[in-house]
Amino acid sequence: MTNLRQLHDRYGQSPWLTTAPAATSPATTRCGTGSQTDVFPAGTTDERSDDMTKLQRLYNEQGQSPWLDNLTRVYLRDGTLSRLVADGIRGVTANPTIFAKAIEGSDAYDEQFAALIAQGRPVLDAYWDLVVDDIGDALGVLRPTFDSSAGTDGFVSIEVAPELARDTNATIAAARRLHERIDQPNLFVKIPATGEGVPAIQAMIAEGRSINITLIFSLARYAEVIDAYLAGLETFAEGGGDLASVHSVASFFVSRVDTEVDRRLDAIGTSDALALRGQAAVAQAKLAYRLFGDRFAGQRWERLAARGAQVQRPLWASTSTKNRSYPDTLYVDSLIGPDTVNTLPEATIAAFEDHGTIARTIDSGVAHAGAVMDRLAEVGVDMDDVGRTLEDQGVASFHQSFAHVLQALEGKARQLAPR
């Protein structure tokens, strides 16, 4: 099936031809950071790989893993998730907002929820039963990807309850419970990268548990997350743990950074400030990738890699464009490179398949990215404060979604109660 046919059949989008593509010749570039040294052909925008989707080419040509940023029971039942995996999706991320929309927006959960309530299950416990069942089914769909990639991809993420984001010990206990309850090798438990979450990340890695670190909005916090991962691996190694069994991604959020920075630039209002709109997110992500390369190198990392440790890949999150004046594939096209993940909602997948560009871009223009950060500071934008603001907003948003779905389920439970 061609890419164009898949656009219509998989994503409901009808592609029209405007100009004929120019032919280009494939080249080869060596990619790799830390322990990986694969060779990938350099990507182009031609149609020579007519038998592959662009999602598949992202991985095969550029070493980037596209994951789906959504999970619903409907997708599990009607085969949508399986089709997306066949098209090149290599993992799934979910969060409290995604599950709230899934449960409230579909009747696919009603029968199980009614049975749980009839059994006397409390609403909170019933919610987790619904979520865990979806995660378990998705893990089954992705398990072949996990096995064929030797544990690099095929992960499905479940997040600890958002009200625990400021409680280190409660986060540790919740993450441990989820790992023990689900107990599958391709499970990621998500822990937010709050100040209280960072030591929980280290503690879970030290126990040999695979963790997806979410809500990273600044370079300063990202540096703390990497250090927590490395320190956790060192502790696990001291206890004789198998480092090859531990996996992690660091979810660095992108589009929300531009939303907040652009708001501040508009408030400043000078020509120098307004000229920087739409540049902060990509620039900061490129510097994050440079930090990733720097930290997963040198003696400290080499000692761990010799024991089988895997790099903690950067994951680009929040990649749908919020500002309609920006290209809808901005946060995909600009952040392509090896040893990375990009987690995409369906609309962004469709846009990328239609008109995205496949080429290594993550480590191009890094000097310019540094200059953008300098110019932002000069006009009065404090990126560390931006990160703190977005972290607080992210935690609050997930908590609001979590509370809202529980309230909706409480209402359903009352309707189901015998009269």
Catalytic annotation on 190? yes
* Active-site position among 54, 101, 190, 286: 190
3-state DSSP helix/strand/coil percent for the chain, to nearest 5? 55, 10, 35
As annotated, the active-site residues are 190
